[in-house]
Structure 1
Amino acid sequence: MSDENRVINVGFVGNPNCGKTTLFNAFTGAKLKVANWPGVTVERVEGETSYKGRPIRVIDTPGIYSLTSYTIEEKVTRKCIEDGEVDVIINVVDASSLERNLYLTLQLLELKKPVILALNMMDIVEDRGMEIDLHRLPEMLGSIPVVPVSARKRTGLDVLMHAVVHHYEEGPQGTVVGYTPRIENKISKVETVLKAHYGEMDNLRWHAIKFMEYDETVWNDHPVDLNNIIDHNYEKEIINQKYDYIEEIIKECLVNKESKAASTDKIDAFLTHLIWGIPIFLGIMAMVFFLTFTVGDFLKGFFEVGLDWLSGSTLYFLQNIHASEWITSLVVDGIVAGVGGILTFLPNIFILFLALAFLEDSGYMARVAYVMNETMGRVGLSGKAFLPMLLGFGCTVPAVMAARALPSEKDRRRTILITPFMSCSARLPIYVLFADMFFPRHALIVAYSLYLIGLAVAIAVAHVTHRMSKGGEEDTLLIELPEYKTPNMRTVAIYVWDKVKDYLSKAGTTIFLASIVLWFVLNSGPSGFVEDVSNSFAAMIGRVLVPVLNPAGLGDWRIAVALISGLSAKEVVVSSFSVLFGIGNINSAGGMNQLSGVLSSIGFSGVNAYALMIFCLLYSPCIAAVATIRKETGSTRWTLGMVLFQLLTAWGAAVLVFQIGSLLF
């Protein structure tokens, strides 16, 4: 094959959330191939395109902040580049966060491969009244091509592909960062030694710098004696000098940044304050839950009216077509009551995700990790571990996957162990129902306390496991705090719709199926269909667990069955109560009064309700989360051990709450 027809392998490399994947998709369209990187669970996506007849293969690498080889993503991206899979690197940069993105750019340039800088999100830069000097920026980066693009509007794509072909033929540009004479002298000496031992290296400077940073991968792959040259780890000095150069670039190339930075610093003086940072965070989250309950409960009333109409209309329709009693019961008491009861909580879920989306897009969530860094450090984890925990307030599945960003396997597993203790959105319907029903005047405080207890238990478990372990390497939190900005309504809308869609999807699949299964196990027994549910399979299963749950104040077989059903999805606990106790529209005022009366008749009070909520907070996450944990850890034994540990923790906490509460109230 002639060189003109040779396929050019292009790697898309960039920070998380820089628009890299969107840009990648704009190039490849539907011509995608998805697989896992060899030996790891990080997904790789490849695609094909062409430019003026020149075939181009593109690889979307995991989003990373550096090539330091601490996290799985960093190791995968670095190996992909070093192993020769990539001929040209397209470094996708969020132009609105140029300072944060350029550190990775400077590392990529040291690899001595053709690098093209794709400036994405230029519209945000303009909206903020800032301007990037597109002539000076490439000069300060060693004359590499700098191409403004818009992944969303699909602009600049042809120019970028032209730069790929041209730059591939031209080859890599020169070195950008010049370190202090002392470091440069040592780099030169290391290069000489490496050339003598590994003359085939085409990026000696990159390897020399990595040796000086005590990079474990480089030392293992290229054993050589450098003790007489490298007397200590130069990583911090090299990082600092890179950032010094980045500051020079920003000063020369980014216009009107000072006013934005000044306003950000004034706000951060309060929000990231050493003493007040955590109380402010807790106050903000309290406001989020205030809105979730007040506004959510107001909107919820309309859904309750709709559910009443749907339930009555369905019953009327089935009776008119003379459907059999069991079909009518299955549809009305099982499916409509179970799925419909969950859908009435949609306003609360919507408000919660809307508030979280505003906080995330404004730039505040990055501050929370910074604020929590010291607290997490005391239990052997860095502020990085708090990021997956924050995601856990939405859904445990992506939260567990986010633990990949942690550098060591031990820290990843410890973070995965404690993340399910965060109250995911699926638990919110349980809190709303029982808090409104048993603590109507203090429902908000009761629900908020559960979020705080989950956070406290997570930190306590992390502390205990840290004490029991032999300790680990110190993990310094390096995080760029972006400038505050007015949340983009389109971004917020996409985030909220994605979460609401997941919730609706779960209602239409998992909860739908769980409601049908639950109805059948409630209405059938060893002798076939039963009229008395106490003779059903569900009652038989529940009674086995009654002695175990009695000390926690949950000693009714129907409650036991509801908790078991919650393993499929936590929302199912609410729909199960609806089906088990035969209450339609359980979230309405009438439904709650009816359920409260039934529960009171079996001695179930506010103390029992709080113990139930504590158990639901702490016990094993849903099946989807457990499957994700198994995939991420690669260990069935560890995953089962985690599930057992969480069940015991939930039982112990619920027993403690019920026994102490029974003595006090």
Structure 2
Amino acid sequence: MNLKIALVGNPNCGKTTMFNALTGSSQYVGNWPGVTVEKKSGKLKGHNDVEIIDLPGIYSLSPYTLEEVVSRNYLLNEKPDVMINIVDSSNIERNLYLTTQLLETGIPMILALNMTDIVKKRGDLINIKALAKRLGCEVMETSAVKSEGCAELAEKAIALGKSRQKSKPLPIFSTDITKTLGQIESIIKTKSTTEHPDFYAIKLFERDEKAIEQLNLSDTVMAEITALTVSCEEAMDDDSESIVTSERYQTIGRIVSDTIKKKASTGMTPSDKIDRIVTNRFLALPIFAAIMFLMYFVSVTTVGAWVTDWTNDVLFGEIIPPAVEALLVSWGTAEWLNSLILDGIIGGVGAVLGFVPQMFVLFLFLAILEDCGYMARVAFIMDRVFRKFGLSGKSFIPLLIGTGCSVPGIMASRTIENERDRKMTIMTTSFIPCSAKLPVIALIAGALFPGSVWVAPSAYFIGVAAIIVSGIILKKTRGFSGDPAPFIMELPAYHVPGAKGVLIHMWERGKSFIKKAGTVIFVASITIWFLSSFNFALEMVDTNESILAALGMIIAPVFIPLGFGTWEATVATITGLIAKETVVSTFGVLFGFAEVAEDGAELWPQMQMAFTQMAAFSFLVFNLLCAPCFAAIGAIHREMGSAKWTLIAVGYQTAFAYTIALIIYQLGLFFTGGGFGIGTAAAILMIAALLYLLFRKPVSKTKQKQLIPVKEI
């Protein structure tokens, strides 16, 4: 019989690091049944019969966000054997709010005081025994980053899970409230079969809609409970939810006062000193820009490029294709099979896999920035910018997640309460270059702009600029007008990233990309090879006479104003809808990436013959900003809940991409001596239209609100 241990805690409490420390590489990621919130599970190291479930980071068990609904439903319905409540020791008051709610579920629980090394550096002292006595559950000190106390914590959790010793709610509430809750609990016990009457009594008192739905009590019973609630509210002169919140924090305050001895403040903490610089009103954006520039420069232009060049030129150039070709010749295989393996599979999949080293370097940077606490500051920094253009800093969280993949980035928009802001975020999230677009960026930068330090980083900043411009334009329309949602978040203390956690995070993202290359891109490459090798009579022909060429030539004229009106570039752009990496694999198949062994032709020179620099950059910008892959479009449809809004989103993205790419190519052509023509006039008209949309009077005037960063509540 498997033992299930659920990890529960606030965002930024070190929960993911703890999960990695407990499971190592023995973990798998999916979605919770019926919803699109990421689910992580894994086997405890050394215990194949113990499953660790990493619940989404939440602040409470009240159903304000999808993450909170998912976590609460799992705890109450799936009934894990034990919970590990991970608490950020450096912000214990805020974290214990969730703890008081978890104790009310009755599930056996251990409290893990994480990041205790930060508390000790501050000179604070936590009386562990006193805290455990006050909470009524075992308390252990841990440091997930350093893997300290994690193994002991797991063993204690296993023992507690086997003992099935239920947690008990804290004596939080005053006499009048306790009496009312007791009456509601008695009603629940007689009218419902729930195993958590204590928990649901409080939730019904708070008028929790999800709890009312789940218990499905009759109107008569609900009227009786409502009457009890109203009577208590009148006596306390406050609404029930505020009463419960206030009582919880009063209890937490007393517990903290009795169990934690804080050192007298002697000045700013190291995190405060760093924040004075990195979140400074004038320095924050230049520092952020410099960090992102460095990240893309190292990933695409230097370290990542060196390994990628070897992978492309040597591994998939001088080693694999000749060896495979020699083997096929010795076997006497048919010409079409040789072409399928060399041009289709090795040419297509190999062209994409060649960029894996660059992606791993990028993922390493992202993992370090996330783990050390800087990315939380980026959301705060970007709120200042986004708010001026009608978006909330909450919109940057999906964009940040979207750097890995647009699909979870789009899903993360569910945390935005304002419907208008949520839709706008969904429409613009895919403008940020995801990992799938990195091979396209690296291909264009390497082939057409060798040695350039600006092309790869510019891709990221073009995405940010597209979001800002779109925010201004859309906020001035009737469907998106209004004040942006307020944004308050906790800034975790800076800490040195754990090497193990960073490497696991990097490997998870990289493995996902390699898996896609072995499945989606593999199938796409074979399909592209077939369509580019046969005509409509199913005769093997030259690529220029193939089915793919015929179809591409029909659509190619649409892209002539953008500078890449060849059928090859057109086909690559369209196949990018399958997966953005397929843009590279398409060129790999069409330009004979695997033919190195035969005539020395490489993908780089072939690209240089197919594109001018201006056309290549236009091609890059269009593919960065246009409609995302089918998976992301599917996520847009699920989150929008409407085919109409999905078409609007995809149509806007594609039209915006076309406009920007046309302006870049036509004006670039003009300023480099191409002369004034119809294309130049069209570009000027499009600029005029953009300026009108940017500076026209908004439908309704909005007020700007300043974000206040919250470090401790």
Kindly indicate whether residue 72 of structure 2 is the aligned counterpart of residue 75 of structure 1: no
Q: Say which of 434, 444, 448 aligns to 1:424.
A: 434
The answer for the alignment partner of 1:181 in structure 2 is: none
Cα displacement string for residues 12-47 of structure 1 (whole angstroms, at most 9, x for unaligned residues): 5323464489769979x999999845x644477999
Partner of 1:299: 307
Tell me the equivalent position of 1:340. 350
The offset of 1:520, in angstroms, is 0.7
Task: Give the equivalent residue in structure 2 for 1:133.
Answer: 127
Q: Which amino acid aligns with 1:476?
A: P
Query: d(CA) in 1 for partners of 2:613 and 2:27?
Result: 57
**Which of 347, 355, 360 lines up with 1:350 in the alignment?**
360
Structure 2 residue aligned with 1:267: 274
How far apart in 1 are the matches of 2:249 and 2:205? Answer: 12
Instruction: State the secondary structure of the residue aligned to 1:93.
Output: strand
In the alignment, the residues of structure 2 paired with residue 35 and residue 424 of structure 1 have an alpha-carbon distance, to the nearest angstrom, of 20
Is this contact kept in 2: 1:194–1:204, CA < 8 A? no
Match of 2:187 in 1: 200
Q: 1:119 aligns with which of 109, 112, 120?
A: 112
Matched, 1:406 2:416: yes
Deviation at 1:107, TM superposition (A): 4.7
> Which secondary structure state, in structure 2, belongs to the residue aligned with residue 482 of structure 1?
coil
Amino acid at match of 2:65: T
1:15 to 6, 10, 35: 10
247 and 582 in structure 1: CA distance in 2 versus 1, 3 angstrom threshold? farther
**2:615, 2:665 within 8 Å by CA — same for their partners in 1?**
yes
Q: Distance in 2 between matches of 1:171 and 1:514?
A: 56
Q: Distance in 1 between matches of 2:380 and 2:107?
A: 35
Question: Do the aligned partners of 2:448 and 2:608 also contact (CA within 8 Å) in 1?
Answer: no
Give the aligned partner of residue 138 of structure 2. 145
In the TM superposition, what are the counterparts of 1:79-118 in structure 2 within 5 Å?
90-95=83-88, 98-99=91-92, 102-108=95-101, 111=104, 113=106, 116-118=109-111
Report deviation, 1:531: 2.4
Pairwise mapping of residues 210-249 of structure 1 onto structure 2 (< 5 A)?
210=206, 230=237, 242=249, 249=256
- In the aligned structure 1, how far is the partner of 2:308 from the partner of 2:264? 44
Partner of residue 536 from structure 1, selected from 538, 546, 551: 546
5 Å-filtered alignment, 1:307-386, equals 307-309=316-318, 310-386=320-396
Partners of 2:391 and 2:421 within 8 A in 1: yes
Question: Displacement of 1:627 after TM fit?
Answer: 3.1
**1:84 Cα offset (Å):** 7.6
Q: Does 2:171 correspond to 1:160?
A: no
Determine whether 1:280 maps to 2:275: no
Residues 197-246 of structure 1: CA distance to partner in whole angstroms, max 9, x if unpaired?
887364699459847xxx77689987565786656898699579939956
**Aligned residues with identical type, % of pairs:** 31
Deviation of 1:108 after TM superposition, in Å, equals 1.0
Partner of 1:650: 657
Distance 2:348 2:80 in 1: 55
2:71 aligned partner, one-letter code = T
Deviations 1:476-533 (A, max 9, x none): 3232212211111111111111222222222222222222111110111112224232
1:141-168 CA distance string (max 9 Å, x none): 4444324579975433453355568785
- Deviation at residue 452 of structure 1 after TM alignment: 0.8
Q: Deviations over 1:263-311 (max 9, x none)?
A: 1110011111123212211111111112111112222232222222222
Q: Distance in 2 between matches of 1:9 and 1:317?
A: 51
Deviates more, 1:145-154 or 1:300-309: 145-154
1:372 partner SS:
helix
CA contact (8 A) 2:32 2:38 kept: yes
Among residues 297, 320, 330, which one is paired with 1:290 in the alignment? 297
- TM-score after normalising by structure 2: 0.75
Confirm whether residue 174 of structure 1 aligns to residue 171 of structure 2: yes
Query: Are the aligned partners of 2:83 and 2:109 in contact in 1 as well (CA < 8 Å)?
Result: yes
Aligned partner letter, 1:393? T
Partner of 1:4: none
**Structure 1 residues 349, 522: closer, same or farther in 2, change over 3 A?**
same
Aligned to 1:481: 491
Report the secondary structure of 1:90's partner residue: strand
2:447 corresponds, among 391, 413, 437, to: 437
Structure 1: distance between partners of 2:27 and 2:460 = 44
Q: Distance in 2 between matches of 1:562 and 1:65?
A: 45
Amino acid at match of 1:559: A
Distance in 2 between residues matched to 1:576 and 1:513, nearest whole Å: 12
Q: How many corresponding residue pairs?
A: 631
Structure 1 pair 235–458 and aligned structure 2 pair: CA distance change class (3 A) = farther
Shift of the alpha carbon at 1:617?
A: 0.4
Q: Which residue of 2 aligns with 1:516?
A: 526
1:423 shift after superposition: 0.4
Q: CA deviation at 1:450?
A: 1.9
Q: Distance in 2 between matches of 1:237 and 1:658?
A: 61
Conserved? CA contact 1:149–1:157, under 8 Å: no
Could you say what secondary structure the match of 2:83 adopts?
A: strand
- Displacement of 1:393 in angstroms is 1.6
* SS of corresponding position for 1:525: coil
Which stretch of structure 1 is more off in the superposition, 121-130 or 430-439? 121-130
Separation of aligned partners in 1, 2:455 and 2:450: 10
Q: Which residue of 2 aligns with 1:628?
A: 635
Once the 2 structures are TM-superposed, how far is the Cα of residue 354 of structure 1 from its aligned partner? 1.3
The 1:134–1:68 alpha-carbon spacing in structure 2 relative to 1, beyond 3 Å, is same
Report the Cα distance in structure 2 between the residues aligned to 1:582 and 1:58, rounded to whole angstroms.
47
Return closer, same or farther for 1:127/1:573 CA change in 2, 3 Å cut-off: farther
Counterpart-to-counterpart distance in 1, 2:307 and 2:360: 10
1:257 to 1:598, Cα distance in 2 relative to 1, 3 A: farther
SS in 2 for 1:529: coil
Q: 2:36, 2:411 within 8 Å by CA — same for their partners in 1? A: no
TM-score scaled to structure 1, two decimals? 0.80
Per-residue CA deviation, residues 621-651 of structure 1 (Å, 9 max, x unaligned), is 2223233334444444433443333222222
Q: Deviations over 1:179-200 (max 9, x none)?
A: xxxxx7xxx7777778888873
C-alpha contact 1:10 1:90 (8 A) present in aligned 2: yes
The offset of 1:351, in angstroms, is 1.5
Q: Is the 8 A contact 1:116 1:146 kept in 2?
A: no
5+ residue gaps in structure 1?
Answer: 1-6, 50-55, 179-183
Deviations 1:515-560 (A, max 9, x none): 2111110111112224232221101211121222122222111111
For 1:13, the aligned partner's letter is: V
Is the 1:427–1:571 Cα contact (8 Å) retained in structure 2? Answer: yes
C-alpha contact 2:424 2:480 (8 A) present in aligned 1: no
Equivalence for 1:598: 609
Shift of 1:392: 1.4
Q: State the one-letter code of the partner of 2:98.
A: T
Shift in alpha-carbon separation, 1:169–1:595, aligned structure 2, 3 A: closer
